Each structure stands twice: as structure tokens, then as C-alpha cells.
Amino acid sequence: MIKSYKLRRGLANTFIYIILAVLGLIWISPLVYLIIQSFSADPEAIPQTLLPASFGFDNYIKLFQETDSLNFPRWYLNTFVIACFSCVISTISVLMVAYAFSRLRFKSRKKFINIGMILGMFPGFMTMIAIYYLLKAMQILDLKSIFGIPGFDGTILALIICYSSGAGLGFQISKGFFDTIPRALDEAATIDGATRNQIFWKIILPMSKPIVVYTVLTSFIGPWTDFILAKIIAGDKIDNYTVAIGLQKMIDNDHKNAWFKRFLAGSVLVAVPVTILFLKMQNYYVEGVTAGGVKG
């Protein structure tokens, strides 16, 4: 009896191993294809076979050398600058709002939380189009250079503003985290004469490393992965693209035949750092999402 049970379990497990292996293969193979083909040194512009016949770094080198029509290094730099700035601004504003909602008690606090929730329900890019006109009317998009830094022009500033301005609405996850820190700590500090400002900097922030890391990483990754907002804001200014729209540009009808393999190489260059950051963030991610989602 026991033997047959063991056998049955063994069979079931083998079956599951097979399914997992097949599924894992299906899931990972497009990415493997991406990486392998990006190292292809075949003469054809679009790969004709599943595996390339010869390998080399040609696509990567061309990506960085031939920058006349599509300037990938420039896009990469753009995205990096935007990501850094918006990461700092977003993190600060998210933490500030979350702390205020979680630890401070003031009039119409609940109303503010509800308004924040309702604002989050509008389809995001309904406002994006209006933001575009707003920025145009404010003449931010026409600025040639900011602080005299070459290349740091209106579009980049506009994108930084767009990515970081709405960040305060994403306070829920951080608020949930702050809520778990015992209030007795605050009270003790208050008795010792600390102001709320000091409590924020000296007690709450040092205890909230996971959520700070989480917020920093999400807001840093945002500009690398966002597609639609950048497309609306940057429009036809090819030099001001971020990597997302730039890569899409590489495979539109005009460019695909010449740029397809460089698109693959560029995708790898974008995907690798983001993937590493994401895997670092994964644990925080799970905590944050389940806390926000399941509590309702």
C-alpha cells in the first residue's frame, strides 16, 4: 500500500517536473532568443534562422558608433538622467505623503486619502494629453537648455516633471508599512521633546529601510519602462527620446530592415540592468503588493 502511494507520488512529481520544464522553456525561450540573436553576426538584416550561424559584438558596436539617424547612447543617457531626478523627487514626495497620512492626525486627513484614491482611478493617459498641452503652453517644451547644460532641454525636464509629479498619489504601500511601526515609539520620542520633524528623520526613516529601497527602485525603474507618456511628450524630437520609444522607433516600418538586430542588442542593454534591479526588489515587491491588494 505504502509502496504504491510512494510510486503514485513519484509519478505525479515526475509529471509536474515535465510540465514545469516545458512551461519554463516556453517562458524563457523568447528571452533566450533575444539574447542569442543580439550577438548574431550574420549578414542578413532580419534573422532567417532560429539560431545565428556566426556570433560577434557587431550589433552592439554599431549601436554605439552609428548614431547619426538614431542615437541610442543619447537615449540611454536621457533615460538615466530622467530616472535619477524623478527617483529622488518621487521618493521624497511619496515618503512625505505616506508619513503624513500614516502618523499625523489632522483635519480632513480621511478626505485627502479618499480624493487620492479617486484621482488614481482615472485612466492615466487621459491626463497625459492635457499635460502635453499644459507643458506646451508653459513653454517648458521649447526650452533649449536648462542651467546651460547642453542636451538637458525642455523635453527632458518635462518628462522629469511628469514622472515625479503624480508620485504622491502612490502613497498606499508606504503608508501600509508606516502603519506597522508601533506608535509607542512616536509617543516616547514626543515625551522626550522631539518634534514631529525629528521623529520623521531620526526614528521612522531609519526603521523603514525596506520601504525606502522599494520606493527608490520602483521610481528609478519607472522611466526605463514607461512607454506612452514619453511618446506623447517627446513627439518627433528623436534626440530626446527615452529608450522605450527609441527602441520602438527602431522597428517601425522605416527602420526595421536596417535596425532589427540593433533593436535586439538595445533591448538587452535596457533589460539587463532593469532585471537586476527588479530581482533585488522582488521581495519588497511581493510584500508591498500583497499588503496593498489583499487588505482591500
Partner 1 sequence: MRYIDYMQLNPFQKFGYHFANFFKKLPSNLARFFKFLGRAIVRFFVAIGKGFAGYGKRFVKGDIFVKLSYLIFGVSNIVRGQIIKGCLFILVEVGYILFMINFAWQYISKINVTGYKIENGQQIDLPNSLGYVAKTETLSADGFSYVPEFHDDSMLILLYSVLTIVITVIVFAIYIANTKSAYKVYEAKKNGEAIPGFKAEIKSFLDEKFHITLMSIPCLLIGCFTVLPLIFMILIAFTTYDKSHLPPGNLFQWAGLSNFGELVNFAGGEAKAHTFLELAEWTVVWAILATFSNYICGMIVALMINKKGIKLKALWRTLFVVVVAVPQFVSLLLMAQILAENGGALNQLIELITGNKEPINFLGGNWFTARVVVVIVNIWVGIPYTILITSGILMNIPADLYESATIDGAGPVKSFTKITLPYMLFVTTPYLITTFIGNINNFNVIYLLTGGGPFTNPDYYNAGYTDILVTWLFNLTMGEKQDYKLAAAIGILVFIVCATLSLITFNMTKSAKDEEAFS
Site residues for partner 1, 141-200, by CB under 8 A, read: 161-162, 164-169, 195-197, 200
- The nearer residue to partner 1, 10 or 151, going by C-beta atoms, is 10
Residue 93: is it exposed, middle or buried by C-beta count within 10 angstroms (0-12/13-18/19+)? buried
Given a contact cutoff of 8 angstroms between Cβ atoms, the answer to whether 71 and 144 are in contact is no
- The nearer residue to partner 1, 138 or 151, going by C-beta atoms, is 138
> Residue 32 is which amino acid?
V
- Per CB under 8 A, the list member of 93, 172, 219, 240 interacting with partner 1 is 93
Which among 216, 206, 272 is positioned nearest to 94, based on CA atoms? 216
- Per CB under 8 A, the list member of 81, 100, 217, 234 interacting with partner 1 is 100
Q: Per rule CB under 8 A, is residue 17 in the interface with partner 1?
A: yes
> Residue 105 is which amino acid?
R
Q: Per rule CB under 8 A, is residue 54 in the interface with partner 1?
A: no
Q: What phi and psi values does residue 146 have, to the nearest 5 degrees? A: -110, 135
Q: Per rule CB under 8 A, is residue 113 in the interface with partner 1?
A: no
With CB under 8 A, what is the number of residues at the site for partner 1? Answer: 89
Q: Per rule CB under 8 A, is residue 238 in the interface with partner 1?
A: no
Distance CA 19, CA 16 (A): 5
Which among 86, 82, 128 is positioned nearest to 233, based on CA atoms? 128
Q: Per rule CB under 8 A, is residue 275 in the interface with partner 1?
A: yes
- The nearer residue to partner 1, 60 or 200, going by C-beta atoms, is 200
Q: Per rule CB under 8 A, is residue 24 in the interface with partner 1?
A: yes
Q: Per rule CB under 8 A, is residue 80 in the interface with partner 1?
A: no
- Per CB under 8 A, the list member of 23, 41, 53, 84 interacting with partner 1 is 23
Sign of CA dihedral 264, 270, 276, 280: negative
The SS3 call for residue 40 is strand
Q: Per rule CB under 8 A, is residue 27 in the interface with partner 1?
A: yes
Sign of CA dihedral 219, 222, 228, 230: positive
The SS3 call for residue 146 is strand
> Rounded to the nearest whole angstrom, what is the least distance from the CB of residue 130 to partner 1 in the complex?
3
- Per CB under 8 A, the list member of 240, 263, 265, 284 interacting with partner 1 is 263
> Rounded to the nearest whole angstrom, what is the least distance from the CB of residue 150 to partner 1 in the complex?
26
Q: Per rule CB under 8 A, is residue 43 in the interface with partner 1?
A: no
